[in-house]
Chains A and B, each alone.
Chain A
């Protein structure tokens, strides 16, 4: 949908729903929120709801960074130590590469 034609309260509502939705383990939703509402929050000239949209965008960005950090750490640990974990490693693996690690 095109944000140009949407009234401001609806924009705020949308931003808020995307922000709240992201708490359900959905960092992607936060990413979409940040990218989509960035111009609205920071580039456009000020309007009443803009301050709240700004807070939501900032918090989404924060949440996103947190998730990225956590995921990167976990993936690094997993890829590095998977072979050494033996059975537990295989149990949590969904694909197991062939060949010698």
Chain B
């Protein structure tokens, strides 16, 4: 049941990358999270810079996860709320505005400010209502998918090549550590939420069904979407409450959506070859399958990133360096197998 949203997100990212050149245009502009440039003269220098970039990025992610857990533990719900609302405002309005303008430029369509304003205003406002407040479940899920895709696209555009792959690898390691080790921030987050009998930030997380609890929660559980790509990379099954009937839905963190899509996006942007993209796509879905299987066996929060990303990375590099030249050669010599 998580296959459909993950597939949709990845499809959205790949379709955008293949049709809008904006997201693959070489730009010297980089995020402040990856301060070292990859436009260096020597390969060694480039490698060093990408490693440093990855370290900085992971450092930022670790810091933010720790901060989030800290705030949650000390019940600073208002701060968390504010932070999440600000992030979703940015994503729903600014990034979607950029996306709209790129789509229009690519298809050479004119649009006036009033119409664009109405469109973006509607998209953003309804998004905020659905994700942060109350709205139809399907629409909320759709918005979360779109928001993850937008975030992934930003990463695909602004992360330089080698740094991106290193970051993906390191973030899955971090995810593994953060969720499984006893002092890991994400594990502490899950445990604190379970102790207090609150749903775990229902909107940093995509849930395939609605959980319905009437547990007294101090403050509202924050409902907002993830912007800084926190790898709340855990899949957890909703708990059963004795008094209330609760829908059992599988949940997946938005960070997972984002990083899966970044992997597939980078695969699509890099070679331009469909073999590689399709291979990564399948690898990620298989990884997700395995993760869900493990979830059914262990019945506790598990990191969703490591398995899929590992398979994805292996597939990408294998296909790119081995399968692709092989296929090209076969095709060039009209040799069919």
Contacts and interface: CB of A to CB of B under 8 A. Distances in A.
Of B113, B136, B139, most A-chain CB atoms within 10 Å: B136
Contacts of B110: 78-79, 82, 93, 95-97
B115 A78 contact: yes
A14 interface: yes
B154 to A, nearest CB: 20
A28 B127 CA distance: 10
Interface in B78-137: 101, 104-105, 108-116, 118, 121-123, 125-126, 129, 134-137
Centre residue among B109, B126, B210 by max chain A CB count within 10 A: B126
A75 B115 contact: yes
A95 B125 contact: no
B247 interface: yes
Given A32-B135, A36-B136, A92 B113 contact: yes
A28 B212 CA distance: 27
From DSSP, what is the main secondary structure of chain B's interface residues?
A: helix
B220 to A, nearest CB: 14
A29 interface: yes
Contact of A94 (B113, B123, B125, B134): B113
A2 B110 CA distance: 40
A99 interface: yes
A25 B139 CA distance: 19
Given A32-B126, A74-B114, A75-B115, A97 B109 contact: yes
B126 A28 contact: yes
B113 A93 contact: yes
A95 B113 contact: no
A92 B109 CA distance: 14
A4 B121 CA distance: 30
A94 B136 contact: no
Nearest to A99: B108
A52 B118 CA distance: 29
A4 B302 CA distance: 31
A58 B125 CA distance: 22
A69 interface: no
Nearest to A13: B134
A100 B13 CA distance: 32
A60 B290 CA distance: 46
B217 to A, nearest CB: 16
B136 A21 contact: no
B115 A71 contact: yes
B122 A26 contact: yes
Contacts of B109: 95, 97
A46 to B, nearest CB: 23
Given A78-B112, A93-B110, A95-B104, A25 B129 contact: no
A95 B115 CA distance: 11
A24 interface: yes
Interface string A14-33: 10000001001111110010
A43 interface: no
15 contacts: A1-B135, A1-B210, A2-B212, A5-B212, A26-B126, A28-B125, A29-B122, A75-B115, A82-B110, A93-B111, A95-B104, A97-B108, A97-B109, A98-B108, A99-B108
Ranked nearest first, the 9 interchain pairs of A and B with the lowest CB-CB distance are A28-B122, A95-B104, A97-B108, A92-B112, A2-B210, A94-B116, A36-B136, A28-B126, A94-B113
Given A28-B122, A29-B126, 15 more contacts: A1-B137, A25-B121, A26-B121, A26-B122, A26-B126, A32-B139, A36-B136, A74-B115, A82-B110, A92-B114, A93-B110, A94-B112, A95-B109, A95-B110, A96-B110
